[in-house]
A and B are shown apart, each in its own frame.
Chain A
Amino acid sequence: MYKVIYNKRINKNSYEILIEAPMVVEKFIPGQFAIVMAKSDSEKIPLSIYDCDKEKGLLYLIYQVVGASTLELTYITDYIYSVTGPLGMPSEICLNANDYKSKKIVYVGGGVGIAPVYPQVKYLKEHGIDVDVIYGCRNKDLMIIKDKIENVCSNVMYATDDGSFGEKGFVTNILERNIDKYDICIAIGPVIMMKNVCELTKKYNVKTIVSMNPIMVDGSGMCGACRCLIDGKPKFACIHGPEFDGHKVDFESALKRMNTYKEEEKIKFDQMEVLLNGKN
């Protein structure tokens, strides 16, 4: 059991949860993630680590309510049953920051994908590297951690689908206009966004890294549920990733695999609503 300091709603369907988890944060390097279980009988869910306080042993996670298990998580107040991490490989760029000092780097974050972008940008700034950020959202109300991102990045460019903040349109529009400026792009967000970014950067031959977020179970390399086709070969996002060379990722199969449990998830969601509302 791990102590929960708060678990608060930060927009229509996203929450920020702060957990005492010193073993998870002590060696965390941006790019890695955590797996949580709300209760002892809950599903394991992989979540992005958005920030951590290494001195106090505090772990900040941001999650979006997308199904039964994330809905259940919103009801957690005092203690959470299980938190495991850090999992996966650290971001190659953060790990070897010194090699990237002369490179011009742009991060593209879509929706809650901005959460795992933040610790990378912060880490690189601490290591003397200023990057640009393009942050896209459906609308202004869904925007999160805007102030925090601006604290660590002097050039944040915004795009919203409806134009309610920043430019109307997609992150790819902004990226394409500025593409000549960049040596490397890191895109984190919905699979379809990462796919579109990669199609664009491939055209301009800009190296691109993406962070995959497939279905996972144990997160330690044991089950293979999270495998993605990278250069035609299966790689496990939990231990070989989650970051991969975006130009080698088979996004088509990744998009389809996300639908594997569509019917089952619908049933679980209904069951969970009944459970949480105490109805029968």
Chain B
Amino acid sequence: MERIKMRMQSPQDRINNFNEVELGYNDKEALEEANRCLQCLNPRCVKGCPVNIEIPKFIKEIKEGNIEKAYEIIKNSSSLPAVCGRVCPQEKQCEGMCVKGIKGEAIAIGALERYVADCALKNNYSSVLNIEKNSKKVAIVGSGPAGLTCAGELAKNGYSVTIYEVLHEAGGVLTYGIPEFRLPKEIVKKEIESLKKLDVEIKTDIPVGNAITIDDLRKEYDYVFLGQGAGLPKFMGIPGEEGNEVFSANEILTRINLMKAYKSDSKTPIKKSKKAYVIGGGNVAMDAVRSLKRLGIEAHLMYRRGEDELPARKVEIEHAKEEGIIFDLLTNPKKILLDENNNVIGMEVIDMELSDIVDGRRSVNEKLGSEHRVDCDMVVMALGTSPNHEALKNSNIKLDEKGLIVVDELKTSLDNVYAGGDSVTGSATVILAMEAGKKAAKRIMEEL
């Protein structure tokens, strides 16, 4: 039996709206897909999951129609199932390990997780157990996936948790970064609400480092977890980047997702361009270019390597292609061209070529003499981020030469201060940040 595909909005429809692309399983589809699972005695999928969800167990409950029980099993390991079911790179994790995938198609674990989580949110299943409170207080910096997961784990185990968030809304990258069409903000809000039911307090509008320092937090709380993320968007350092319509992907996504600039009555503007190039090939680049397409802009993705090297998830690349995103691969900008008012009028770009594989990686070089010009009126840089030390101001926490927080088993150089997620690893994925949040919670609990 073949893997059950999730129903989707057609490409023609979805490029005109910001609603979710994938529509999820209905009961029948979920049951059919669950029935494909072999219920391996030694499940490889669980090992492939960074937070080790007991996958065969929850799928078994779906088969038997106990969705609430399935939710409990997932919730035992993951604080944000409706999020993970949508944005995890399952093909590289649980599904990548699935035995079924060796000869045929892996079980759609992500889609099933999403189905269970959505049922839970719709029917208000509560996984709240009787929590026995202890006397320990924990402060968490940042309300993104790392912070939320750490908070959830600790709160379930009786700790009093307070999260500090600089923005006016919680969720970090789930709120400002990942677009509505991949992760509806209503889902994020509900996941956060379910954490609040565990008595997690979230203080928004607070710039840690300025309004309150790490040292202040250490005095007030028994433990501190730093999950503030990676931070500063990178630029290329080429001429013309000061141009008016040169943006970071973070800015485009923040305007659209956090500030709702895609709505015509939004009070926050977004530049109405005709033709935009997004530079980069990761998930953030895909999110940005697909968002621009939905605003009616001719949206190009420019990446210096080839299609096989695109770091974005395969499914996002497929969706982008279906939506008519134009891929300009093996091409790199040399210079952004501006008019006398610094408005973007084009780019000088150069063709690139890949070398043979050396040490497992192809290097990429400019093709001499291949410079040419492309016209455009917007350029968006999606090149990753470098560490943002705002939250660490006035603390003498140890950093490495790249500016990342140095940790030993998630413990920083400061007593009782832990860190995990992008501020430790550099830009990575939601699930890896969640894994770090979960591990940090475990480390904190071991301290008792």
Contact = CB atoms under 8 A, between A and B. Distances in A.
A51 B242 CA distance: 33
A113 interface: no
| B176, B207, B211, B258: residue with the most chain A Cβ atoms closer than 10 Å | B207
A256 B338 CA distance: 11
B162 to A, nearest CB: 13
Contacts of A267: 269
Contacts of A265: 269
A60 to B, nearest CB: 17
B207 A84 contact: yes
B212 A84 contact: no
A24 B204 CA distance: 12
B272 A257 contact: no
Given A27-B212, A220-B167, A221-B231, A44 B259 contact: yes
A236 B234 CA distance: 11
B351 interface: no
A264 interface: yes
How would you classify the secondary structure of chain B's contact residues: helix, strand, loop or mixed? Answer: loop
Given A220-B390, A234-B235, A27 B211 contact: yes
A92 to B, nearest CB: 14
Contacts of B267: 41-43, 68-69, 72, 268, 272
A23 B211 contact: yes
A5 interface: no
Contacts of A220: 166-167, 207, 388, 390
A253 B207 contact: no
Contacts of B168: 37, 40, 44, 81-82, 84
A257 B232 contact: no
B255 interface: yes
Contact of A256 (B244, B259, B266, B390): B244
Nearest to A256: B342
A222 B241 contact: no
B383 to A, nearest CB: 11
A86 B207 CA distance: 7
B26 to A, nearest CB: 33
A167 interface: no
Contacts of B32: none
B233 interface: yes
A217 B249 CA distance: 13
A259 interface: yes
A259 B244 contact: yes
Chain A: interface size category: 35 or more
A238 to B, nearest CB: 9
Interface residues of B, number: 40
B271 A234 contact: no
Contacts of B258: 218
Contact of B248 (A82, A224, A272): A224
B210 A86 contact: yes
B17 interface: no
Interface in A182-239: 217-218, 220-225, 227, 229, 234, 236, 239
A68 B268 CA distance: 10
Interface string A1-38: 00000000000000000000001101100001000010
Nearest to A72: B267
Contacts of B259: 43-44, 217
B388 A239 contact: yes
| B210, B232, B244: residue with the most chain A Cβ atoms closer than 10 Å | B210
A117 interface: no
Interface in B217-245: 231-233, 235, 241-242, 244-245
A224 B235 contact: yes
Contacts of B254: 217-218, 222-223
A225 B251 contact: yes
A91 to B, nearest CB: 14
Interface string B251-285: 10011001110000111111110000000000000
A236 B233 CA distance: 10
B242 A84 contact: no
Given A84-B168, A217-B259, A260 B271 contact: yes
Given A85-B210, A87-B210, A256-B244, 8 more contacts: A27-B212, A40-B168, A43-B268, A218-B176, A223-B254, A239-B232, A239-B390, A257-B244
> A-B pairs with the 6 shortest C-beta distances?
A264-B269, A223-B251, A256-B342, A224-B248, A82-B168, A253-B242
Interface of B: 166-168, 176, 204-207, 210-212, 231-233, 235, 241-242, 244-245, 247-248, 250-251, 254-255, 258-260, 265-272, 341-342, 388, 390
